[in-house]
């Protein structure tokens, strides 16, 4: 796996140098140069290699920058839309950065020692009809990775739609975007944030009452350990979907769900920013979750139709009804 970075001294044994010196960005291939520029890389960089965390040799590139000037997820999505071709599955990391975001543009607080990862998966071998199930992919892979890192002693769960929690405290979040061509998924873009060493200060809300990190939850690992575990889990889950469709992914998502069997409130989500929470209104759906469908819609007891979108809080964390 090729590694490109502007901070080789901080890679903590993740990679080894090919020549031990910096190289001009202009010396890269056109694809790598465009990728480096899109991620906020400077005029010079360090080039090295690393062992692929996946035994099958799934990953092609890892690009690591010390500080991202803006959301790498947004930059990569713009690059995909503009037609940038990637040489293979590519992992993009920022050790810290500004402008990170989660679902609906909500800010994601970065902190040193945590994992801020985007992954591009070109030509993943997935049919376009299965694209609606792909938002499960990074959440399930993140759960797989945390279980593996802790030797099974830490049991993370998934809070609908895209939060990973440990004992009710949020430790990670994921984003997914897909690009399709004809009947195939042309590329998958994933964003994964995982609190490894630090639980950032986050104002409690009914949707995220508390946050945590792996170190405090009993899994004291480094961001490099977390990267290796997540990349390995992603490669395995992508291969699973390409081989047999999303059935196994859905089973794993349901198995890790912390909302099935719980009474929840689903609020209308805003297009951008924080979801307002006030007094009850007719647009807030409340009920016990009985199932999660293949398209990730919630089946609520007593509801006329599945809930396809919104922001979920557990009933005990919601404001009182009228």
Looking at residue 249, its pLDDT comes to: 95
Q: Is the same domain home to 167 and 189? A: yes
Please check whether residue 322 lies inside any domain of the structure: no
Q: Which residue range forms the structural domain that includes residue 303?
A: 263-317
For residues 299 and 192, give the distance between their C-alpha atoms in angstroms, rounded to a whole number: 26
Q: Is the same domain home to 221 and 299? A: no
Please check whether residue 89 lies inside any domain of the structure: yes
Nearest to 142 by CA among 54, 213, 232, 254: 232
Please check whether residue 14 lies inside any domain of the structure: yes
Domain end among 231, 256, 281: 256
Looking at residue 40, its pLDDT comes to: 84
Q: Is the same domain home to 293 and 223? A: no
For residues 105 and 232, give the distance between their C-alpha atoms in angstroms, rounded to a whole number: 28
Q: Is the same domain home to 287 and 201? A: no
Tens-of-pLDDT digits for all 322 residues of the chain?
A: 999 999 988 887 687 655 556 889 999 999 999 999 999 888 889 998 888 988 889 999 999 999 999 899 999 999 999 999 888 999 999 999 888 887 777 778 888 899 999 999 999 999 999 999 999 999 999 999 999 999 989 999 999 999 999 999 999 999 999 999 999 999 999 999 999 999 999 899 999 999 999 999 999 999 999 999 999 999 999 999 999 999 999 999 999 999 999 999 999 877 655 666 765 566 789 999 999 998 999 999 988 899 999 999 999 998 776 4
Residues in the chain: 322
Q: What is the pTM of this model?
A: 0.93
Looking at residue 19, its pLDDT comes to: 54
Please check whether residue 311 lies inside any domain of the structure: yes
Beta-bridge partner residues of 175: 191
Please check whether residue 81 lies inside any domain of the structure: yes
Q: Is the same domain home to 110 and 133? A: yes
User: Which uninterrupted H or E stretch holds 62?
Assistant: strand 61-68
Domain end among 256, 277, 298: 256
Give DSSP secondary structure letters for 105-154. Answer: G-B----TTSEEEEEEEES-S-BGGGGGGTTHHHHHHHHHHHHHHTTT-S
| Number of folded domains that form the chain | 2
What proportion of the chain, given as a percentage, has pLDDT over 90? 70
Let me know: does 44 contact 24? Beta carbons within 8 Å: yes
Q: Is the same domain home to 126 and 188? A: yes
Please check whether residue 48 lies inside any domain of the structure: yes
Q: Is the same domain home to 56 and 89? A: yes
Token pair for residue 131? 């694209």
Q: Is the same domain home to 181 and 286? A: no
Domain end among 256, 279, 308: 256
Q: Is the same domain home to 226 and 133? A: yes
Nearest to 195 by CA among 116, 119, 107, 96: 116
pLDDT in tens, 93-126: 999 988 888 777 777 888 889 999 999 999 999 9
Q: Is the same domain home to 168 and 249? A: yes
CATH number, domain of 35, equals 3.30.930.10
Looking at residue 322, its pLDDT comes to: 46
Q: Is the same domain home to 181 and 230? A: yes
Q: Is the same domain home to 218 and 271? A: no
């Amino acid at each position: 796996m090729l590694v490109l970075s502007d901070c080789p001294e901080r890679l903590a044994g993740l990679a080894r140098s090919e020549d031990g010196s910096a190289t001009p960005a202009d010396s890269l291939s056109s694809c790598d140069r465009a990728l480096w520029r899109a991620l906020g890389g400077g005029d010079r960089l360090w080039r090295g290699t690393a062992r692929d965390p996946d035994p099958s040799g799934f990953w092609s590139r890892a690009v690591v920058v010390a500080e991202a000037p803006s959301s790498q997820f947004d930059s990569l999505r713009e690059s995909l839309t503009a037609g940038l071709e990637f040489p293979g599955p590519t992992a993009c990391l920022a050790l810290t950065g500004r402008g990170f975001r989660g679902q609906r543009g909500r800010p994601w607080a970065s902190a040193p020692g945590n994992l801020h990862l985007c992954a591009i998966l070109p030509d993943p071998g997935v049919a376009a009809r299965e694209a609606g199930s792909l938002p499960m992919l990074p959440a399930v892979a993140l759960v797989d990775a945390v279980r593996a890192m802790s030797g099974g002693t830490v049991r993370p769960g998934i809070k609908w739609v895209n939060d990973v929690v440990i004992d009710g405290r949020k430790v990670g979040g994921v984003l997914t975007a897909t690009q399709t061509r004809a009947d195939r998924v042309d590329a998958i873009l994933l964003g994964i944030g995982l609190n490894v060493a630090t639980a950032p200060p986050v104002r409690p809300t009914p949707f995220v009452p508390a946050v945590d990190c792996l170190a405090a939850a009993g899994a004291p690992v480094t961001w490099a350990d977390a990267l290796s575990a997540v990349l390995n889990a992603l490669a395995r889950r992508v291969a699973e979907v390409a081989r047999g469709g999303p059935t196994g992914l859905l089973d794993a998502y349901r198995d890790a769900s912390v909302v099935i069997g719980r009474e929840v409130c689903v609020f209308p989500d805003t297009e951008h920013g924080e979801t307002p929470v006030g007094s009850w209104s007719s647009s807030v759906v409340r009920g016990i979750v009985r199932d999660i469908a293949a398209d990730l819609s919630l089946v609520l007891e007593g509801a006329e139709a599945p809930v396809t979108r919104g922001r979920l809080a557990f009933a005990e964390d919601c404001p009182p009804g009228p």
